[in-house]
Amino acid sequence: MNRILIAEDESRIASFVEKGLRANGFVTAVVGDGVAAYDLACAGGFDLLILDIGLPLSDGFTVLRRLRESRVTMPVIILTARDSVSDTVAGLEGGADDYIAKPFAFEELLARVRLRLRAERTPEVTVLRVSDLSLDLRTRRAYVGDRAVDLSAREFALAEIFCRHPDQVLTREQLLSHVWGFDFDPGSNVVDVYVRYLRRKIGAERIETVRGTGYRMRVA
Query: In this predicted model, what pLDDT tens digit does every residue of 59-106 receive, in sequence order?
Result: 988 999 898 888 888 899 998 776 666 666 666 777 888 888 888 888
Whole-number percent of the chain with pLDDT over 90: 48
Query: Are the CB atoms for 156 and 142 separated by under 8 Å?
Result: yes
How confident is the model at residue 178, as a pLDDT?
75
**If pLDDT is split at 50, 70 and 90, which confidence band does 185 have?**
low
Of 151-155, 172-176, 204-208, which gets the smallest average pLDDT? 172-176
Supply the CATH number for residue 167's domain: 1.10.10.10
Alpha helices in the chain (DSSP H): 11-23, 34-43, 60-69, 85-93, 106-117, 153-164, 172-180, 190-202
Average pLDDT across the chain, whole number: 86
Supply the CATH number for residue 50's domain: 3.40.50.2300
68 in the same domain as 38: yes
Q: Looking at 53, 85, 120, which one is the last position of a domain?
A: 120
**Domain limits at 157?**
127-217
C-alpha closest to that of 110 among 149, 72, 160, 159? 160
Q: What's the domain count of the chain?
A: 2
Rounded to two decimals, the pTM is 0.56
207 in the same domain as 184: yes
Reading phi first (left if > 0) and then psi (alpha if -120 to 50, else beta), residue 95 is in: left
Instruction: Give the mean model confidence (pLDDT) for residues 200-214.
Output: 93
Cis check: omega of the bond before 103, within 30 degrees of 0 = yes
85 in the same domain as 29: yes
Query: Are the CB atoms for 128 and 163 separated by under 8 Å?
Result: yes
For residues 66 and 69, what is the distance between their CA atoms, to the nearest angstrom? Answer: 5
